Structure 1
Amino acid sequence: MNINKSLTVLFLFILTTSYAQPKAPKGKKWQTVAGLTDEFDEWDQTKWRKTLWNYEEPVQMVAENSGVSNGKLWIKATLDASSSRWFKTSRVMSKQAIKFPMYTESCMKTSGISAFSTFWMNKGSDGGSTRDEIDICEHNTNPSFNNQSNRPYTMYSQYFVVENNDVERAHGNFDNRKLSDENPAKGKKWNEAYQTLGCYWPDANHVYFYINGEPAGSVTSTRKFTRDLNIIWDLWTSVHSWTGGIADKKDLSNDKINMMYVDWIHTYQLVND
């Protein structure tokens, strides 16, 4: 391939991944949802809030461990050695909720510790016993369980439709080593570089996931999604094998690996053209 053709292919790939939402159906067009779109030049309190409900120990959600600086939303894990909730961290959630048909994509980079860096949507009640949830990415790039060699390359995606603790759930997990050769995420651990993670939610039963605009798994529910969902990022750890295992306390003082970052989020809804 000559240099001009190579540059053309590269340009088309960049153009495609910059506008990665699927083509709108006939008679419809994509419209930006301002309340769920942000370049993170500053903290916008009209769009985001810090919801500090905790997961199980050792997680301790605190407001000061998230914020916006240098054009990035960040969430940081630090050590509180005096507490059984020694993993201090934070959560950022949208004030606005949204329902299908919609598309959202977030350019983000995960932490390098054994913890979940997440990008997800949720709405429920009664402590989550009744809820709709779409997990676009729950990722641990450095699992403390030694037998999880595939986890650093996998985008863990799933859904829950829960009614009175009766759970319907399925995974759409995707190994980034299966991406096309042109995709810059192929074979990369998620903390090595920013990648654009997308979610197309067209109707009450289907969700499609994307990495840099390339299809990366899907899920189909039997129950219908019925709720408008908020968008959430958080960073947390646990002892369970399904999260990749507990963080190493000494890693929480290393600012090179103890933070997840979001460069931007763009969200769209389908409207009549």
Structure 2
Amino acid sequence: MLKIQFYYLYAIVLFVVIACGGSSDESEEIIEQLDNENPVIVCVDPINIFIEANENGSIVNYTTPVGTDNLSGVVTEQTAGLPSGDVFPVGTTTNTFLATDKAGNSTSCSFDITIERNAPSSDSPYFIEDNNPLPTGKKWVKVEGLTDEFNENALDEVKWKNTDPSKWIGRAPGLFKKNTVSQAEGNLQLTANILSEPEVVNDVTFTHEGSNITSNTAAEVGYYFECRMKANKTFMSSTFWLINVRNEGEGCDVRTTELDIQECVGQITSTDSWAQTTDRHMGYHMHSRNTTCTETPTGTVGGDTLIGGIASEDYHVYAAWWKSSTEVQFFLDGKKVYSGSPEAEFNLKMYLRMVVETYDWNPVPDDGGMTGSEEDRTTYYDWVRTWKLEDE
């Protein structure tokens, strides 16, 4: 009934304006004053597209929404997102459209376009676009002893060692315990926790438990290492790295070389300024230490790169190419983020490690730091893959 009355009134006013010789501008002004009905605009449903693992985006065509109104002259504009036919990046893009009539009434609608990459192929290393450093005439070949898809229900002890109490037992207050390691749903799972009772080992008290997985096969210069990992949400670490066995060397090779590919924490308890992004970065370093010869340099080279979110929120692919004894390249989600030279030559064999430990710079919080669920306390490794170069 109200609509009928409105249109009736509108017709009478318009007739009076025209009959009295009123201008078109005046009539439009009267129409605008009388129009109190918002325009209508309807967006399309959300769009989800999967692309190849090495692609960065996809062209998306969609029906552009157009506003309608009870009167002519409605204008539609896009206020957020990308137009139909553009290349949409990986992730979610929200597209918003606004319809406005001559009276200034407006209505908006939005819809999401989500671009997701397919899982990286297990037949080759994961690189985005032109980031593959493969030399001409070479091919990547999988190193089976340092590769695992973790699809079985138990850890492959031919490939991996679960904690060695005769060697490194952990940094207090975190003690490495075998029971923290499990394998299920295609993931190696390392779960941090508080010990049921504190344990004293070598006069040191431990209150928490973590994990230490070490490869039984040694890695060599020229290998490419990658893992798909989701960090835990605790103050303890989530890591992927390599280190040598110091006493395997002779002479000046009795030293330590360590190649950290990813080191992060899930909860920052440190007050140090440099530590405030350690829950959302890829931390990579090359360490040279514990030398027996004064002519052997020591020190650390490396850095960190933000991953675009919290490391515990999603899986990311962390990787490094041990290109030579004097150069290592680091990759995040298929893109090279850093290249550097260690202080001393990295020419000693090293062993892969997946470790959840405590850091002295990130202390235990007052509540013990283990109030989250088992899922929150677990670092997940979807897979670990190692590659070497061979002639085509």
Where on the TM-score scale, by shorter chain, does this alignment land: which range? 0.7 to 0.9
Corresponding residue of 1:215: 336
Q: Secondary structure at the match of 1:35?
A: helix
Q: How does 1:48-127 map to 2 (within 5 A)?
A: 48-52=160-164, 53-83=168-198, 84-125=205-246
CA 14–171 in structure 1, closer or farther in 2 if over 3 Å, else same: farther
CA 143–89 in structure 1, closer or farther in 2 if over 3 Å, else same: same
CA distance in 2, matches of 1:51, 1:233: 11
Corresponding residue of 2:70: none
Say yes or no: does 1:261 pair with 2:388.
no
Corresponding residue of 2:110: none
Cα deviation 1:194-246 (Å, max 9, x = unaligned): 000011111001111111011222331242112111110010113x32xx333
Identify unmatched segments of 5+ residues in structure 1: 177-184
1:132 to 257, 260, 276: 257
Q: Secondary structure at the match of 1:101?
A: coil
CA distance in 1, matches of 2:60, 2:283: 37
Give how far 1:251 is off: 1.4
Corresponding residue of 2:137: 27
Give how far 1:255 is off: 1.3
Give how far 1:265 is off: 1.1
Give how far 1:157 is off: 0.9
1:40 aligned partner, one-letter code: F
Give how far 1:15 is off: 7.1
Contact 1:17–1:212 (Cα < 8 Å) also in 2: no
Give 1 or 2 for the bigger CA radius of gyration.
2
2:299 to 169, 177, 194: 169
CA 6–90 in structure 1, closer or farther in 2 if over 3 Å, else same: farther
Q: Percent identity?
A: 22
CA 51–219 in structure 1, closer or farther in 2 if over 3 Å, else same: farther
Q: Secondary structure at the match of 1:152?
A: coil
Give how far 1:44 is off: 1.7
Corresponding residue of 1:160: 287
CA distance in 2, matches of 1:104, 1:124: 19
Corresponding residue of 2:266: 141
Identify unmatched segments of 5+ residues in structure 2: 1-57, 62-84, 91-114, 199-204
Question: What is the root-mean-square deviation in Å for CA atoms of aligned residues?
Answer: 2.9
1:116 aligned partner, one-letter code: S
CA distance in 2, matches of 1:246, 1:14: 37
Q: Which has the higher contact order (CA 8 A, sep 6+)?
A: 1
Contact 1:106–1:266 (Cα < 8 Å) also in 2: yes
Corresponding residue of 2:364: 246
Contact 2:182–2:190 (Cα < 8 Å) also in 1: yes
CA 16–91 in structure 1, closer or farther in 2 if over 3 Å, else same: closer
Contact 2:301–2:341 (Cα < 8 Å) also in 1: no
Give how far 1:131 is off: 1.7
Q: Secondary structure at the match of 1:251?
A: coil
